[in-house]
Structure 1
Amino acid sequence: MTHVHPVRVYYEDTDLAGIVYYANYLKFIERGRSEWVRARGVDQTQVKADHGIVFAVRRVVADYLRPAVFDDLLEVTTELRELGGSRIELWQTVRRGEDTLFTAAVTLVCLGDNGRAARLPPQVRAALTG
């Protein structure tokens, strides 16, 4: 299942050249991941309160393919690739219409209150895969 989240490029997202500053793509895909989790029925604040677990980015492998510019309407897509005991592998893209501008393979880990990897609670696992 692919989740799609719209993002509008604002002036504040661009650099001196008038294109989206490279680090802002990471913000865009973060929003997409947050909305993907929410769309699956997972309340991250509640998961932290109930289980002491948070999701943290462990790795991002990104490709910047084409620039986005001010006022572009983009779509951030998020797909689950693999779910381990405490690891979540996602594939994310940023598109403008039919053009793919940015891709990223993202690895998340579940961390407990002690900062160490923790197993994904069964009900969260079911929501993310269901």
Structure 2
Amino acid sequence: MSKTHIHRVDVHFGDCDPAGIVFFPNFSRWMDEASLAFFMACGVPPWRELNKTRGIVGTPLLEIHTRFFKPATYGQTIEVHTSIESWAAKTFRHRHVVRRGADVLCEGAEVRAFVMRDPDDADRIRAIPIPEDIKALCT
């Protein structure tokens, strides 16, 4: 079972479209922020530190799926509840539930991989097996 981290977001006027509704890509941005916040809350060092010490560049996004239920607008505070739904050898599935109080605004799922630079081509990255110590911090 994964830990769950709650990432709070204050919605600003600039996050909204002309109708005053949060522009949908902002939910993806907040889920991406919540992904990093999840790992840091679990005790995983920032990616730049892991890059220096272990060569791990981060966890780029491979797949995303989002379902929207209710809108949000500026002046509201929302929460992104993030957990890891499943682990595979080199990938994991992050689950995000965006709430405003008891209301679920949207749900998102992301497939991400742990990656490092390819030793044969520094311009490329390659997926690596998920480090067991990082997995243990998150469960």
TM-score interval, smaller chain: over 0.9
Other-structure match for 2:73? 69
SS in 2 for 1:116: strand
Partner amino acid, structure 1, of 2:16:
T
Other-structure match for 2:137? 127
Q: Percent identity?
A: 26
Q: CA deviation at 1:103?
A: 0.4
Residue pairs, 1:20-99, within 5 angstroms = 20-43=22-45, 44-53=47-56, 54-99=58-103
Structure 1 length as normaliser, TM-score?
0.93
What is the RMSD computed on CA atoms of the aligned residues? 1.1
- CA–CA distance in 2 between the matches of 1:57 and 1:24? 16
Q: CA deviation at 1:122?
A: 2.5
Q: CA deviation at 1:121?
A: 2.1
Q: How many positions carry a matched residue from both structures?
A: 129
Q: CA deviation at 1:17?
A: 1.0
Partner amino acid, structure 2, of 1:16:
P
Other-structure match for 1:16? 18
- CA–CA distance in 1 between the matches of 2:38 and 2:131? 17
**Structure 1 stretches of at least 4 aligned residues deviating more than 4 Å after TM superposition:** none
Runs of 5+ in structure 1 lacking a partner?
Answer: none
Q: CA deviation at 1:26?
A: 0.6
Partner amino acid, structure 1, of 2:83:
E
